[in-house]
Chain A
Amino acid sequence: MRIGTLHMFRQGVNGMLDQQVKLFNTQNQLSTGKRINNPSDDPTSAARLIGLSESAKTTAQYQDNILAARTRLELEEAALGSVGDALLRVRELAVAGQNNTYGLQERTALALEIRQLADEVMGLGNRKQANGQFMFSGYQVQTTPFSETAPGVFSYAGDQGQRLIQVGPARQIADGDSGQAVFMDIPDGGGGFESVFATLENLATNLEANIAPTAADLAQMDRAMEHLVGFRAAGGARLNALENQQGINETMLLQLEVTRSSIEDLDYAEAASRLSLESIVLQAAQQAFVKVQNLNLFNFL
Chain B
Amino acid sequence: MAVGLLGTAASGLQAFQRALSVTGDNINNANTEGYSRQRIELAARASTFTGQGYIGSGVKVQGIERMFDQFTVDRLRDTTSSSSQYETFFEFSGRVANLLGDADAGLSAGLNSFFDAVQTVADDPASIPARQLMLAESDSLIARFHTLDSQLDSMRSEINGSMGSIVVEINGLSSAIADANRGIADATSQGSGAVPNDLLDKRDNLINQLSELVSVRTVQQNDGAVNVFVGSGQSLVTGYLASPLQTVSGSFDSSRTEITMGNGGSATVVTNNLNGGKLGAILDFRDQVLNPAQNSLGRIAVSLATEFNQQHTLGMDLAGAVGLDYFSITTPLVADSTANTGAAAVTASFDSANIDDLTTEDYVLGFNAGVWSASRASDGQSVAMTGTGTAADPFIFDGLSIEVAGIAAAGDRFQIRATRSGSSDMGLLLSNPREIAAATLAAAAAPGDNSNALLLAGLQSGQTMENGATNFQGAYGQLIAELGTQTRSAQIAAEAQGALLVQAQESRDSLSGVNLDEEAANLLRFQQAYSAVAQVISVANSTFQTLINAVGR
CB of A39 within 8 A of CB of B473, answer: no
Q: What residues of A have a CB within 8 angstroms of the CB of B389 in the complex?
A: none
Q: Select which of B461, B476, B521 is within 8 A of A50 by beta carbon.
A: B476
Q: What residues of A have a CB within 8 angstroms of the CB of B109 in the complex?
A: 53
Q: Does B450 contact A (CB under 8 A)?
A: yes
| Nearest CB of B to A14, in Å | 7
The residue in chain B whose Cβ has the minimal distance to the Cβ of A67 is B123
CB of A297 within 8 A of CB of B119, answer: no
Contacting chain A: which of B132-140, B169-177, B230-238, B481-489? B481-489
CB of B520 within 8 A of CB of A298, answer: yes
User: A14 vs B125: C-alpha distance in the bound complex, in angstroms?
Assistant: 63
Q: What residues of A have a CB within 8 angstroms of the CB of B524 in the complex?
A: 301
CB of A296 within 8 A of CB of B516, answer: yes
| Nearest CB of B to A128, in Å | 12
CB of A165 within 8 A of CB of B122, answer: yes
Q: What residues of A have a CB within 8 angstroms of the CB of B516 in the complex?
A: 5, 296-298
Q: What residues of A have a CB within 8 angstroms of the CB of B523 in the complex?
A: 301
Q: What residues of A have a CB within 8 angstroms of the CB of B513 in the complex?
A: 2-7
User: A3 vs B516: C-alpha distance in the bound complex, in angstroms?
Assistant: 10
- Residues 164 to 190 of chain A near chain B (Cβ within 8 Å): 164-166, 169, 172
Contacting chain A: which of B5-13, B93-101, B277-285, B359-367? B93-101
CB of B488 within 8 A of CB of A137, answer: no
Q: Does B480 contact A (CB under 8 A)?
A: yes
Q: Does B168 contact A (CB under 8 A)?
A: no
| Nearest CB of A to B296, in Å | 13
Q: Select which of B94, B111, B446 is within 8 A of A140 by beta carbon.
A: B446
Q: Does B497 contact A (CB under 8 A)?
A: no
Q: What residues of B have a CB within 8 angstroms of the CB of A42 in the complex?
A: 484
Contacting chain B: which of A54-62, A203-211, A246-254? A54-62
Q: What residues of A have a CB within 8 angstroms of the CB of B482 in the complex?
A: 43
Interface string of B456-469 (1 = CB under 8 A from A): 01101100000000
- Residues 80 to 110 of chain B near chain A (Cβ within 8 Å): 94, 97-98, 100-101, 103, 108-109
CB of B502 within 8 A of CB of A11, answer: yes
Most central of A39, A42, A61, A166 by chain B CB within 10 Å: A39
CB of A131 within 8 A of CB of B518, answer: no
Q: Select which of A6, A47, A58, A133 is within 8 A of B477 by beta carbon.
A: A47
Q: Does B161 contact A (CB under 8 A)?
A: no
Known: A2-B515, A50-B473, A65-B123. A164 touches B454 (CB 8 A): yes
Q: What residues of A have a CB within 8 angstroms of the CB of B31 in the complex?
A: 6
Q: Does A161 contact B (CB under 8 A)?
A: yes
User: A161 vs B524: C-alpha distance in the bound complex, in angstroms?
Assistant: 105
- Residues 468 to 523 of chain B near chain A (Cβ within 8 Å): 473-474, 476-478, 480-485, 487-488, 491, 502, 505-506, 509-510, 512-518, 520-521, 523
Q: What residues of B have a CB within 8 angstroms of the CB of A61 in the complex?
A: 115-116, 119
| Nearest CB of A to B504, in Å | 11
| Nearest CB of B to A51, in Å | 6
Known: A141-B126, A142-B126, A159-B446. A6 touches B509 (CB 8 A): yes
Q: What residues of A have a CB within 8 angstroms of the CB of B126 in the complex?
A: 131, 133, 141-142
The residue in chain A whose Cβ has the minimal distance to the Cβ of B492 is A40
CB of A44 within 8 A of CB of B481, answer: yes
Q: Select which of A51, A165, A296 is within 8 A of B473 by beta carbon.
A: A51
Most central of A4, A65, A140, A298 by chain B CB within 10 Å: A4
Q: What residues of A have a CB within 8 angstroms of the CB of B103 in the complex?
A: 49, 53
| Nearest CB of A to B456, in Å | 11
Q: Does B542 contact A (CB under 8 A)?
A: no
CB of B112 within 8 A of CB of A164, answer: no
User: A137 vs B446: C-alpha distance in the bound complex, in angstroms?
Assistant: 10
CB of B108 within 8 A of CB of A43, answer: no
Q: Select which of B116, B439, B484 is within 8 A of A43 by beta carbon.
A: B484
CB of A68 within 8 A of CB of B124, answer: yes
Q: Does A1 contact B (CB under 8 A)?
A: yes
Most central of A47, A64, A65 by chain B CB within 10 Å: A47
Q: Does B2 contact A (CB under 8 A)?
A: no
User: A65 vs B119: C-alpha distance in the bound complex, in angstroms?
Assistant: 8
The residue in chain B whose Cβ has the minimal distance to the Cβ of A163 is B450
Q: Does B335 contact A (CB under 8 A)?
A: no
CB of A165 within 8 A of CB of B123, answer: yes
CB of A301 within 8 A of CB of B101, answer: no
The residue in chain B whose Cβ has the minimal distance to the Cβ of A175 is B123
User: A47 vs B126: C-alpha distance in the bound complex, in angstroms?
Assistant: 37
Q: Does A46 contact B (CB under 8 A)?
A: yes
User: A5 vs B474: C-alpha distance in the bound complex, in angstroms?
Assistant: 54
- Residues 282 to 338 of chain B near chain A (Cβ within 8 Å): none
Q: Does A10 contact B (CB under 8 A)?
A: yes
CB of B446 within 8 A of CB of A4, answer: no
CB of A297 within 8 A of CB of B521, answer: yes
Q: What residues of B have a CB within 8 angstroms of the CB of A139 in the complex?
A: 439, 446-449
The residue in chain A whose Cβ has the minimal distance to the Cβ of B458 is A166
Q: Does B42 contact A (CB under 8 A)?
A: no
Q: What residues of A have a CB within 8 angstroms of the CB of B124 in the complex?
A: 68, 131, 133
The residue in chain A whose Cβ has the minimal distance to the Cβ of B446 is A139
Q: What residues of A have a CB within 8 angstroms of the CB of B520 in the complex?
A: 296-298, 301
- Residues 519 to 553 of chain B near chain A (Cβ within 8 Å): 520-521, 523-524
Q: What residues of B have a CB within 8 angstroms of the CB of A213 in the complex?
A: none
User: A25 vs B362: C-alpha distance in the bound complex, in angstroms?
Assistant: 38
Q: Does B197 contact A (CB under 8 A)?
A: no
Q: What residues of A have a CB within 8 angstroms of the CB of B269 in the complex?
A: none
Q: What residues of A have a CB within 8 angstroms of the CB of B377 in the complex?
A: none
Seen from chain B, the residues whose Cβ lies within 8 Å of a Cβ on chain A are: 30-31, 33, 94, 97-98, 100-101, 103, 108-109, 111-113, 115-116, 119-120, 122-127, 439, 444, 446-451, 454, 457-458, 460-461, 473-474, 476-478, 480-485, 487-488, 491, 502, 505-506, 509-510, 512-518, 520-521, 523-524
Q: Other CB < 8 Å A-B pairs besides A5-B517, A163-B125, A172-B454, 6 of them?
A: A6-B514, A14-B502, A38-B94, A38-B484, A48-B477, A54-B460
Pairs of residues from A and B, 3 with the lowest C-beta to C-beta distance, nearest first:
A4-B513, A43-B484, A4-B509
Of the A-B pairs whose beta carbons lie under 8 Å apart in the complex, a sample of 15, sorted by A's number, is A1-B510, A4-B512, A4-B513, A6-B509, A11-B502, A39-B97, A40-B94, A40-B97, A50-B473, A58-B116, A61-B116, A69-B123, A133-B448, A166-B458, A296-B516
